[in-house]
Chains A and B, each alone.
Chain A
């Protein structure tokens, strides 16, 4: 049975996806030009998701180039392909490279199969050499971006620990980062020897695995629903031999496994188009017709997550602190921000409010939470040092000063030098208890 022909819904979805990819690729090329090759992001926050987007779009782009009857679309697809071929490897994104590989493999599967049909194929050497090449590339990419690889493993490890605590109900989409961060605090409190993990840990807004994120947010039922949607779409594609959309889904699954596409408007739009494309070849009156409104509902729910007022509220909380309304600032933090924003600046502001209110124990609690949440940072130790100096607990202040001085910063900055200098002054001005 032949593959799904390039007409109808496919000839509508594929050019849209290709044009989206072209827009991102051109914007990235412009970034490369103005930064002298230093960086490119498209409309994303970094080059990784951009490369993933291009990788997932590749099957549609190739399909347009090969099948479109309009010359202008074919030229556009050609440019997109050239730029994708440059930008995907240049991003050094392992996820994007893997997604592109899987997408291309699925897309060209019918042709590979056709070429080798009736011939005696030496599968073993082909398989072995391919495996060696893949492993070599993977090792190179892991070595080149070692911290990133280890960091992702840490996030998955802690995510699974977190998920195990609330496997059925989840904590809600917007509360996942804080839930993760609190689990990270517990992990470091009970594993003080995890030096390498402490070095790479941060407060991620994503878990770099959207299946895990969905499971943490909505529990196992939520994960099952997400998988059901994808599996249904895949089945629809397989039945109609819709290799273009199937290939893009293959790439998308890879990206969802190691990145955070569900947090990106661009990917949500792409996902919507792919879901729409997966229904190609089916009649409107068929049993699958109910899927279209279901997909639309899911997309609306997905987009609703972007109604985020954390930034504005944090600004208000800072203003309240500056205007010495410490109680009010803390109300805002406790009631909303600390529940939804994992960034340690929330903890710092809460601690500072308590410090100003003379509640040093509460201040210490929040500063200490920050220490455990992102152990590589200097600032919470600096806040603790000043807090202990204010309360007259010199021994604890010196202990924090020692940490400040012996901790290697990830990035050198004047602020860190300033904190270190204050710690140095405290250490050097403290009389020695030393037998000479």
Chain B
């Protein structure tokens, strides 16, 4: 080529190439879509496949992790065509899917993603092969229940590590879809008492028209269409591939940012136990959406939104679809995506199927008087902790001069249930021994003891044999052991023990730092009353407004906390004493 021509041509083409690459970048998804739709548009017989492809591409913007990257390598037209073809084959042939409608097919079989970014994007045909090779041959599946049982069993063997429920549920749903079982994942945002959220699975049975819910990779979980919604669970949201128009994402004012996770429009409230109600709330004209939060110690401000409603045109009431009775709701709105309370908390009362809001009686601060409170717990004593303590009645401390404990003497027998605290007991004086042991009662042969310390007078005889009773953790115990044995180098006369039952460790613990907060009805926020380091098993705070809703937070350890009222020298907790199930 003429060298005189080459450099001007180079200069001429560089901007053109840059411009061209910009156009290509912009049109990546469009080109991919065109390629897939062209494939199905060639024949009338693939009209539904074309619609299915449009469904996937139309909703792809709501699933950013499923969008192809710059190189376009994650998803190709070949991926879409293989995936869609396999799903249609399932829809035609699968015993569990062949009678579902096209709309159901699009939501429960076709989508290749469940929770955003939880699983790699794999086409259904590849998943089918994986299930065949690792779980069960799809032709051998007798029923969805049968698959769930086998799947949970095999997965607990294949990946015994405790993965996140979001990942487990996503994997399970996608694998079920890949073998032709219509299924979805569902989630809650909070529990009444637990500081947690959960994602579970549900399959759709066309015969009964019901969803059957279960936990993925949990061998104890059996699919259930009835009892999944229990009182503890806040609203349940079904995770969809297409957006739900009846969601804050769409119903909000355009200047109003939904509070996560309600910024995801692909969630539909499927709570079964809730009821709809209009609640009088002082909203303003710049918010369409009112959120209802529940207490959550990990959430900013101690409140996490779990439900939402739409204001009326006068902005005096908001209508909610699924309010749960026996829940203390904190109403609020979104300010740049953050929850801001707008009215005092309320509860929902159900009378004959009608749901109405009520101010909680227990939150009325009767006067401006203050009092000094003595607190022993940040969370109520659990039923399981009480049962553990009761089961230890009859436990004894034995001593002997031989390791077989022949002719052992009993130094202590527990006649009363232990408190969930470290307690000191005096041992009977029956001489010097080299071997000591804790023996659980015959009726409950498990060492559910979390702390065990041996003393001569004030002096602790330290012992390090790796047993968890010496790790100082109240939540662990050598439960499967028949005894907890303490062997000395030479015979000694032990005088005392310190002992604690295995428990949730929610009592005030010496050495931990605490913050006491109260719900201020004027600012509608949790405000600090005081901070203190515990030096015993109780804490005292002065000048606490009488009748306030309080929250004792342990900032050293642990996550279980719940609000309470202090009255008559006692803590009465929100969801145990004040609001029964």
Contacts and interface: CB of A to CB of B under 8 A. Distances in A.
A132 B271 contact: no
B463 interface: no
A435 B310 contact: no
B251 to A, nearest CB: 4
Interface string A205-233: 00000000000000000000000000000
A109 interface: no
Interface in A117-134: 124-125, 127-129, 131-132
Interface stretch (B9-17, B160-168, B341-349, B359-367): B9-17
A395 interface: no
Contacts of A9: none
B245 A128 contact: no
B312 A139 contact: no
Contacts of A412: 254-255
A432 interface: yes
A358 interface: no
A135 B8 contact: no
A428 B270 CA distance: 15
Contacts of B15: 132, 135-136, 139
Chain A's interface size range is 20 to 34
A429 B311 CA distance: 11
Interface in B260-286: 268, 270-272
A402 B253 contact: no
Interface string A91-135: 000000000000000000000000000000000110111011001
Contacts of B310: 424-425, 428
Nearest to A134: B15
Interface string B270-304: 11100000000000000010000000000000000
B209 interface: yes
A428 B255 contact: no
B268 A434 contact: yes
A417 B12 contact: no
Interface string B68-84: 00000000000000000
A89 interface: no
A151 to B, nearest CB: 17
Interface string B182-211: 000000000000000000000010000111
A291 interface: no
B245 A406 contact: yes
A425 B253 CA distance: 12
Contacts of A435: 204, 209-211
Given A435-B204, A436-B271, A436-B272, A421 B12 contact: no
A100 to B, nearest CB: 21
Contacts of B321: 428, 432
Contacts of B313: 421, 425
Nearest to A403: B245
Contact of A421 (B9, B243, B253, B272): B253
Nearest to B248: A424
Most A-side CB within 10 Å, residue of B210, B245, B321: B245
Contact of B8 (A124, A420, A427): A124
B4 interface: yes
Nearest to B104: A435
A128 B7 CA distance: 9
A420 B256 CA distance: 13
Tell me the dominant secondary structure on chain A's binding face. Answer: helix
Given A135-B15, A428-B319, A436-B270, A405 B250 contact: yes
A189 to B, nearest CB: 18
A5 interface: no
A37 interface: no
Given A434-B270, A436-B272, A427 B251 contact: yes
Contact of A429 (B9, B19, B255, B319): B319
Contacts of B369: none
B354 interface: no
B241 to A, nearest CB: 16
A23 interface: no
Tell me the dominant secondary structure on chain B's binding face. Answer: mixed
Given A124-B4, A432-B246, A424 B19 contact: no
A430 B244 CA distance: 13
Most B-side CB within 10 Å, residue of A125, A136, A405, A409: A405
B528 to A, nearest CB: 38
B202 to A, nearest CB: 10
A263 B5 CA distance: 45
B254 A417 contact: yes
B386 to A, nearest CB: 35
Contacts of B312: 425
Contacts of A428: 246, 251, 310, 319, 321
Contacts of B272: 436
B374 to A, nearest CB: 46
B5 A124 contact: yes
B12 A128 contact: yes
B209 to A, nearest CB: 6
Nearest to B245: A402
Contacts of A132: 11-12, 14-15
A127 B12 CA distance: 10
A424 B14 CA distance: 50
Most A-side CB within 10 Å, residue of B5, B209, B254: B254
Contacts of B16: 135
Nearest to B272: A436
Contacts of A139: 15, 18-19
A424 B289 CA distance: 10
Nearest to B34: A193
Contacts of A427: 245-246, 250-251
A409 B19 contact: no
Nearest to B318: A428
Interface string A410-423: 00100011001100
A405 B245 contact: yes
B21 to A, nearest CB: 12
Interface string A134-178: 011001000000000000000000000000000000000000000
A121 to B, nearest CB: 14
A112 B484 CA distance: 106
Nearest to B308: A428
Interface in A368-412: 401-402, 405-406, 409, 412
Given A135-B16, A434-B270, A405 B8 contact: no
B19 A125 contact: no
Nearest to B319: A428
Contacts of B5: 124
Given A420-B253, A421-B313, A434-B270, A127 B8 contact: yes
A169 B12 CA distance: 43
A139 B20 CA distance: 11
Contact of B251 (A135, A136, A424): A424
Nearest to B186: A436
A146 B272 CA distance: 50
A131 B270 CA distance: 63
Nearest to B211: A435
B61 to A, nearest CB: 11
Interface string A284-319: 000000000000000000000000000000000000
Contacts of B7: 128
B253 A417 contact: yes
A435 B12 CA distance: 62
Interface in B206-225: 209-211
11 contacts: A128-B8, A128-B11, A132-B14, A135-B12, A136-B15, A401-B245, A427-B246, A428-B251, A432-B321, A435-B210, A435-B211
6 nearest A-B pairs in the assembled complex, by CB-CB distance: A128-B8, A424-B251, A405-B250, A428-B310, A436-B270, A132-B11
Given A132-B11, A406-B245, A417-B255, 11 more contacts: A124-B5, A129-B8, A135-B16, A417-B253, A424-B251, A424-B310, A425-B312, A427-B250, A427-B251, A428-B246, A428-B251
